[in-house]
Chain A
C-alpha cells in the first residue's frame, strides 16, 4: 500500500473493515455518518501509508487510532451542531451487545476468525472490570470524553474518575499483553 498498489488497499480494507466499522459504529449513531467516516478513515490510511513506520506502533494501532479520531471528530461536530449527547447507557448496553456479538461471531463463517478471537479476549478482559471502571473507560474511548467531562456526566469526583480509568487501563494492559505482541 505504501507503494500505491490499489490491490493492497483492497486487501487492507477487507482485512480491517470489520473492526474499523465496529468502532466507528459504536461511536456514531447515524448510518450515513458511519459510512462516511469509515471511508474517510481508510482513505486517510491510503494517503498516509507512506508515513507509517512499524517502529512507532502496529498497523492495528495506527489504523484504529485514525478511525477513532475521525469518528470522534464527527461526533464532536455533531454535538456542536445539535448539542447532542452520547448514549448514557454505553456501559450496560455495550456489555450486553458485546456478549451477544461473541455468540454471533462464533457461528458466523464470514467473520474474520482472528478478529473474532481477539474480540473474545478483549470482551473477557473488559467483563472482568468493575462496572464503574468499564464505564469510565468506554466513555473515554468511545465517547471521546475527557476525564473532567466524564466526572461531570457521572457526577463523580474527578479524582475518582482518574483512579477508575487508571485501574482499568492497568488491568487491560496486563490481560491484553499477548494481543499487543501479536499486533506488532
Chain B
C-alpha cells in the first residue's frame, strides 16, 4: 500500500480514479483519502458520473443486436422468474470478488456461462424474510442497548455536571473565605503597623467623668493613618453617634463616626496632616451620620503634644 496521500495528491488523481485507471496501490491510497475527505468524495462521484457518459459514445447497431437483445432478455427473465420466490437474500459483499478494482462486486463470481448460470451466494442459506426478521431483531436489540447506554451516559454526564457545580461553588466559597481572612489579617497588620511604626505618635484621650472614658490614638505620620482605641465610652441614645475630630488651628476635621460595643471601639482613618498642624483630638456625641462640625461637648479630648 502506498503511503498516505496529501489532499492535493489525492485530488489530482481523482480523474484517473473515476476512470479506474490507477494502479492498485495508488488506487487504494486515493480511495482511503476519499473516504475521509468531504471535498474529494463528492468530486469523485461527479467525475464518475462524467466518466459513465463515455459509454454513450458506443455505436448502437439495432439491427444486429435485435436478436441478441431478445435472446438475452429471454434468459434474463427466465432466471428472474426462477429467482423470484427466493429473491432477495443479501449478497455477502465482503466475500464477493471485486471486479477490476472498480468496487463493484460480482455476485456471480467467475463467469460460468449462460447455460449454467451461477447460483447467487446467500448468507447462511436463510430465506430473505427470515433473514430480515433476524436483522430486525438484531437492530432492535442494538437500538435498545444503544438507548440504555445513551441514558446511562446522559445520567452520568448530569452527575458529573452537578459534581462540577458543587466543587466550583465550594471552591468559590473557599476562595471568599480565604479572601476574607486575608483581608482581616491585612487589616490587623495595617492596624498594628499604624500603632507600632517608627513614626507613630500615641496620645491618650481622657475625661473627667466618674466612669472615665479614655482612648488611645495612634497616628502613623508616615502612612497618614489614625487608629483610635476607645474604652468606657458611655452608651449612646437612639439616633446618636460618636464622632472623632482632628482639630487644627483653623479647622475641626471629621475623622469618622463610630458606635462602641460594650463601651469599646476601634476606629481607623486615613488623613494626611502635617505634624505641626494638629492642635488637638476630640470625640463628641453627634446625631447619627455625623455632623460637618462638632455640635456637642467633647466626651474625651487631648491636646497635641500631650
Q: Which residues of A come within 8 Å of B, CB atoms?
A: 4, 6, 9-10, 13-14, 17-19, 21-23, 25-26, 31, 34-40, 42-44, 46-48, 50-51, 56-58, 60-61, 64-70, 72-74, 76-77, 94, 97-98, 100-101, 104-105, 108, 110-111, 115-116, 118-119, 121-123, 125-126, 137-138, 140-142, 144-148, 150, 162, 165-166, 169-170, 172-173, 176, 179-180, 183
Contact = CB atoms under 8 A, between A and B. Distances in A.
Which 6 pairs, one residue from A and one from B, show the smallest C-beta to C-beta distance? A22-B58, A101-B59, A140-B21, A23-B55, A69-B99, A169-B15
A40 B91 CA distance: 15
14 contacts: A21-B69, A36-B111, A38-B72, A39-B75, A39-B76, A43-B107, A43-B108, A56-B45, A64-B52, A101-B60, A104-B61, A146-B22, A150-B21, A169-B15
Contacts, number: 217
Contacts of B77: 6, 9-10, 13
A126 B45 CA distance: 20
B53 A180 contact: yes
Given A22-B60, A119-B56, A50 B88 contact: yes
Nearest to A123: B57
A172 B83 CA distance: 40
B47 A169 contact: yes
The residue among B54, B61, B76, B117 with the most chain A CB atoms within 10 A of its own CB is B54
Contacts of B84: 4, 6
Given A9-B80, A176-B50, A69 B102 contact: yes
Contact of A140 (B16, B55, B57, B83): B16
A48 B80 contact: no
Scoring B48, B49, B102 by chain A CB atoms within 10 A of each residue's CB, the highest score goes to: B49
B170 interface: no
B91 A65 contact: no
B16 A147 contact: yes
A59 B47 CA distance: 15
A62 to B, nearest CB: 9
Contacts of B198: none
Given A17-B73, A68-B102, 18 more contacts: A4-B84, A6-B84, A42-B72, A43-B107, A65-B102, A65-B104, A69-B100, A77-B110, A97-B59, A104-B60, A108-B62, A122-B57, A140-B21, A146-B23, A147-B16, A147-B22, A180-B46, A180-B49
B100 A72 contact: yes
A19 B56 contact: yes
Given A6-B80, A13-B76, A108-B62, A141 B114 contact: no
Contacts of A111: 60, 62
A111 B106 CA distance: 29
B111 A74 contact: yes
B202 interface: no
A98 B81 CA distance: 36
B88 A68 contact: no
B59 to A, nearest CB: 3
Contacts of B107: 43-44, 47-48
Interface of B: 12, 15-16, 18-23, 45-62, 65-66, 68-69, 71-73, 75-77, 79-81, 83-84, 87-88, 91, 99-100, 102, 104, 106-108, 110-111, 113-114, 117, 120
Nearest to A66: B104
B15 A57 contact: no
Given A18-B60, A104-B61, A162-B16, A61 B49 contact: yes
Given A43-B76, A137-B54, A140-B16, A22 B68 contact: no
B19 A165 contact: yes
A48 to B, nearest CB: 6
Contacts of A141: 19, 51, 54-55
A45 B127 CA distance: 20
A21 B106 contact: no
Contacts of A150: 21
